[in-house]
A = this chain, B = another copy of it.
Amino acid sequence: MSFSITEYKERIRKTKERMAEKGIEVLLLTDPANLNYLSGYDGWSFYVHQMLVVMLDEEQPKWIGRGQDANGAKVTTWLTDDNIIPYPDEYVQSDLKHPMDFVADRLKEFGKDNCSIGVEMENYYFTAKCYQQLTKGLPNATFQDATLLVNWVRLIKSDAEIEYMKRAAKIVEKAMQAGIDLIEEGVRECDVAAKIFYNQITGTEEFGGDYPSIVPLLPSGEKTSTPHLTWTDDRYKDGDAVIVEIAGCYKRYHSPLARTVQIGRPTDEMKTLSSVAVEGINACLDMIRPGIAAEEIEETWRKTIEKSGFVKESRLGYSMGLNYPPDWGEHTMSIRKGDKTILQPNMTFHLIPGLWLDKYGFEASESVRITETGCETFAKLPRDLTLKGHQLLK
C-alpha cells in the first residue's frame, strides 16, 4: 500500500465528517481517485463499473467490483476480505443486467435501502444509466449529489502525498529534458512522444514512474493554436514551435509541466507572446502565499499581461495531485475569477498560463505547492521559450 493505514483511516474520518454535515448516511463513490484515496485500490479496471461504499456506521468502506478484479482489491487495499464484494461477469456491458442492480441489491441486504445516499452525479464513471438504475432499484432511498465531496477532502495534501509529488517532479524534469533534447527539424513527432513516455515510466534509478492520467500533449506549428492535440508521424520543420505538456506520475500522484520549444528562429510575435507569458507566471509565483484567494492569482496574471494587450479567457490553473485518466485535475479549486478558495499550506495546483492565438500559442506551466510563507514549484526547469536548431550556431 502507498500510505499507512492510519492515513487511510484519517481520510475516512474526514469524509464521514462531511457526510454527516450534509446528512448523507451512505456514500457511493465511483471516481477512481476517490477509491484509491480511501481504500488504496489501484488497477485499470475503471472501464467497468466499480464502487466504494462508505457508510457512516461502518468502520471500513466496502469495495464492489467485477469478479476478476476482486483479487486486485485484495492485493492493493487495506480492506478485510469480507469488505470486498465481487459481482458476476454477466453484469459486464450487458443489455440485461446492470452493475447498479447488483449494488442496489447489496444495499438492501445491508439494510440501507431507505437511507440518504450520496452519489457523484458529475463523474466520468457514474453514467446517466447508473443513476437511473440505482433510483429504480432503491425507490425508498433519497439521493443527494455528492460530487466532489471526497475531492475537497483531497485538497490539502499530507506530507507523504507531497513526497510522492516531489518524486513525480523528478520524473517530469527528466522526461521534459529528454523531449526537448530530441526535438529538431526532421524528427518525427511520434519519436519525441515515445522518448517522453519511456522516461515517464522508467522514472529514476531510485523509483519508477506510474502512467500519467493524460498522454503527452505535443501540438506543433499551427496546431499550437489549440492545446489538446497529441502527435502524428509528421516531421518537425524549421520554424515550428512545439508545445510539450506532460506530467510525471508516482503512485498515481502527478506533477504536470508544460514548456514551449522553438525550432529555428522564433517570429517576433512568438518572442513577445512568450516573454509576456513568462512575465505573467513569474508575477504570480511572486505573490502566491497562504491566506489569499485563488482568484487573486488570476487578477495578478490578468493585470500583468494586459499591459501588453493580451487577454486569456480560459482559467489559469486548477488543483491537482492524485488521479486517473482522463484527467489529472481534481475538479475542485480553479484559478479564475470568482473562485474564492483561500490558499493554505500543502494545497497543490497546476498553474498553466497558456496563451493560444489564432495561428500559434505558447505554454509554460508549473506545478506549485503552497508553503507556510509563499509557494514553491515542484520542478526546476527554465521557463523561457526553449530555442533549438540552427539559430544557436549563428
Contacts of A127 in B (CB 8 A): 121-124, 126-128
Contacting pair B230 A313 (CB below 8 A): no
Within 8 A of B (CB), among A202-228: 202-203, 207-211, 214-215, 217, 222-223, 225-228
Query: Among B68, B88, B203, B217, which residue has its beta carbon within 8 angstroms of that of A44?
Result: B217
Which of A56-64, A185-193, A263-271, A373-381 binds B? A185-193
Contacts of A214 in B (CB 8 A): 44, 47
Contacts from A to B (Cβ < 8 Å)? 42-47, 67-72, 75-76, 88-89, 92-94, 96, 119, 121-132, 145, 147, 188-191, 193-195, 197-203, 207-211, 214-215, 217, 222-223, 225-233, 313-315, 318, 325-327, 329, 331, 334, 336, 338, 354, 356, 358
| A129/B124 contact (C-beta < 8 A), A44-B215, A313-B89, A318-B93 known | no
Add 4 more A-B contacts to A44-B214, A76-B229, A194-B208 (CB < 8 A): A71-B225, A92-B314, A121-B129, A190-B202
Closest B residue to A314 by CB, please name it: B89
Contacts of A67 in B (CB 8 A): 313-314
Contacting pair B44 A228 (CB below 8 A): yes
Contacts of A89 in B (CB 8 A): 313-315, 336
| A202/B208 contact (C-beta < 8 A), A47-B326, A223-B75 known | no
Contacting pair A68 B227 (CB below 8 A): yes
| A69/B228 contact (C-beta < 8 A), A127-B122, A197-B197, A198-B198 known | yes
20 sampled A-B residue pairs with Cβ under 8 A = A43-B226, A43-B230, A44-B217, A45-B228, A47-B214, A68-B354, A71-B225, A75-B226, A127-B128, A129-B147, A131-B131, A189-B208, A191-B202, A193-B211, A194-B200, A194-B209, A197-B201, A210-B230, A325-B325, A326-B326
Contacting pair A128 B124 (CB below 8 A): no
| A356/B326 contact (C-beta < 8 A), A128-B126, A208-B191 known | no
Contacts of A231 in B (CB 8 A): 208
Contacting pair A69 B226 (CB below 8 A): yes
Which of A69, A70, A93, A225: most chain B CB closer than 10 A? A93
Query: Among B122, B123, B228, B331, which residue has its beta carbon within 8 angstroms of that of A43?
Result: B228
